Structure 1
Amino acid sequence: MTSERTAATVTEPVRDDIDARPGSTASLLRTVVGVFLRPLGGWVSAADLVTLAGDLGIDAAPARTGVARLKQKGLLLPEREGQIGYRLNPAAVGMLERGDRRIFEMREMTDADPWCLVSFSIPESARSVRHQLRRRLQWIGAGVVSPALWICPGHLQDEVQQILDELDARQWATLFQASAPTPAGTLIEAAAQWWDLAALRGEHLAFQTSLASLPAEPFAAYVQLIDRWRVLPYTDPGLPPSMLPSDWPGRRSFDEFARLSAQLAAPAWAHVRSRTGGSARAD
């Protein structure tokens, strides 16, 4: 690899594909790349990637189109190592590591944990930035106290700051660390106003129902399991039990995901090694 290619690899921007619908070609391929490529050494041949896509029921032509989308997003960089292939953009590693923590580790707040308040006033001349900020705050699980005041768990403050920096919106926003809110009504009533808990409940129940339709083959089952689950740890902020109904389904969703993930990981990795000829190990 030439020094010119090295420079391009390091500086290529990365855009997270948050709009990819779980189960779509783009989403499944992103899940494959996010889960397997780092332990494989960060590089995979184009042929092996298309083969793995085929093992998920994706034909070669749409698989290549999906890979092209990952290239456009900056997640993959074309690189030849004896044959045509793709290297994971080093700039994406931090994003994927944050995703790992969200996906594989359930974070549930306690009443003693701090909150992060995000107050912003963005001029009409930058309304596209305002739209993107609201969209991305919602994506990480922030709630809406008012149109210009959002709330999220305190441990997400670094992610909020990163979003503001990426949107060049830091000049219009102020962050506050806060203790437990004291709304006029109950905390459960406030949470239902600030977050769409009915929609979140529906997503959890749909995920739990979908587990009955996982494929029998471990690799396909593992990829689909992660692909179906990966959005929920972002949109569900992990509110403390005091702010949730007693029958909240979030814990059961995570427990089912963790159980099946542990069961499927090793045989899925064995399949990937057999397809790629690599020596990657399951973590």
Structure 2
Amino acid sequence: MTSSVLDDIDARPGSTTSLLRTLIGLYLRPLGGTISSGALVGLAEDLGIPAARARTAITRLKKHGLLLAASGGYALNSAAVPMLERGDRRIFSVRTMRAGDEWMLVSATIPETRRDLRHQLRRRLQFLGAGAVSAGLWILPGHLDAEVEELLDELGARGFATLFRTSDPRPAQSLVQAVTAWWDLETLRAEHEQFLASVTGLDLSTPFAAYVRLIDSWRVLPYIDPGLPPELLPADWPGVRSMETFAELSALLAEPAGEHVRAVAS
């Protein structure tokens, strides 16, 4: 499906393609949806990306459907806008569950003849922050209901899935123990620690480059971390520190970074 390609969930933060994707997602909409080739390559150079490598990555992003050729430059593919808006909500409005909030269960029975669909659904649900209760059964925060419905429709999997809502899941063991089985908390911890380490090297004297790299390092985390209730997580969970660090740096860098982009694009 087009939308799953545009989501580009395999982009490695810090790579040339990922940085340009982040740049485009942040700034092409405020610029009216278009940018000259010279301005886009110039902004890539401000990120430390050589022009030749930037042009190669731009070609790749066109192939993925994020960009379209336009007179004198590039235009944002309108089909990418819903995905970018969904990303905005995740990246800039992180939600954390509280005790008593509803959970969502997704039960999907997909035929053996559609193993490709089963694989896609599993990967995309994990990217939304779902935990695996058992084969074909996933659990997510209830506030992700609309995103799950959208995902199932995009993949053509809605006919194979049944959705449930509950505020009182009752696993055989304690809910704290169940959470450690449903989600790989150690991998999530490592992702948070990697983010926190990455921001220590940001050069705040160059706010544009620092801000794009900040968003690029952060943007996957609010997807794969479902924002579980604090009482279900270890006492030393680094997620809160990650969110506070991101919010502080974003507030410091966003405005001067935007000014730089407008100056280059004009």
**TMscore range, shorter length:** over 0.9
SS at match of 2:59: helix
Match of 2:26 in 1: 35
For the residues of structure 1 that align with 2:3 and 2:193, how far apart are their CA atoms?
38
1:116–1:152 CA contact under 8 A, matched in 2:
yes
2:3–2:80 CA contact under 8 A, matched in 1:
no
Q: 1:212-269: per-residue Cα shift (whole Å, max 9, x none)?
A: 1113411100000000000100000000112111221111101100000110111111
Match of 1:44 in 2: 35
2:14–2:216 CA contact under 8 A, matched in 1:
yes
For the residues of structure 1 that align with 2:228 and 2:188, how far apart are their CA atoms?
12
Letter in structure 1 aligned against 2:190: G
Letter in structure 1 aligned against 2:143: H
Q: Where in structure 2 are there 5+ consecutive unaligned residues?
A: none
1:37–1:44 CA contact under 8 A, matched in 2:
yes
Where does 1:249-264 land on structure 2 (aligned, <5 Å)? 249-264=238-253
Q: 1:78-118: per-residue Cα shift (whole Å, max 9, x none)?
A: 111xxx21111122112111111111112000122111100
Match of 1:19 in 2: 10
Where does 1:91-130 land on structure 2 (aligned, <5 Å)? 91-130=79-118
1:14–1:74 CA contact under 8 A, matched in 2:
yes
Shift of 1:203: 0.9
- The 1:64/1:139 distance shift into structure 2, 3 A limit, reads same
Match of 1:266 in 2: 255
2:3–2:83 CA contact under 8 A, matched in 1:
no
34, 55, 58: which one aligns with 1:64 = 55
- The 1:40/1:134 distance shift into structure 2, 3 A limit, reads same
For the residues of structure 2 that align with 1:12 and 1:186, how far apart are their CA atoms?
38
2:36–2:74 CA contact under 8 A, matched in 1:
yes
For the residues of structure 2 that align with 1:103 and 1:261, how far apart are their CA atoms?
11
Q: Where in structure 1 are there 5+ consecutive unaligned residues?
A: 1-10, 278-283
Within the alignment, does 1:169 sit opposite 2:157 as a pair?
Answer: yes
For the residues of structure 1 that align with 2:105 and 2:143, how far apart are their CA atoms?
12
Higher deviation after alignment, 13-22 or 167-176 = 13-22
1:115–1:177 CA contact under 8 A, matched in 2:
yes
- The 1:179/1:38 distance shift into structure 2, 3 A limit, reads same
1:142–1:237 CA contact under 8 A, matched in 2:
yes
Where does 1:110-259 land on structure 2 (aligned, <5 Å)? 110-215=98-203, 216-259=205-248
Letter in structure 2 aligned against 1:37: L
Q: 1:162-205: per-residue Cα shift (whole Å, max 9, x none)?
A: 11111111111111111231122222111110000011011111
For the residues of structure 2 that align with 1:147 and 1:61, how far apart are their CA atoms?
46
Shift of 1:25: 0.6
SS at match of 1:245: coil
For the residues of structure 1 that align with 2:108 and 2:184, how far apart are their CA atoms?
21
For the residues of structure 1 that align with 2:153 and 2:4, how far apart are their CA atoms?
14
Within the alignment, does 1:77 sit opposite 2:65 as a pair?
Answer: no
Letter in structure 2 aligned against 1:243: L
1:140–1:237 CA contact under 8 A, matched in 2:
yes
Normalising by the residue count of structure 2, what TM-score does the alignment of the two structures yield? 0.96
For the residues of structure 2 that align with 1:245 and 1:212, how far apart are their CA atoms?
24
* Matched residue count: 264
Shift of 1:121: 0.9
For the residues of structure 1 that align with 2:3 and 2:215, how far apart are their CA atoms?
26
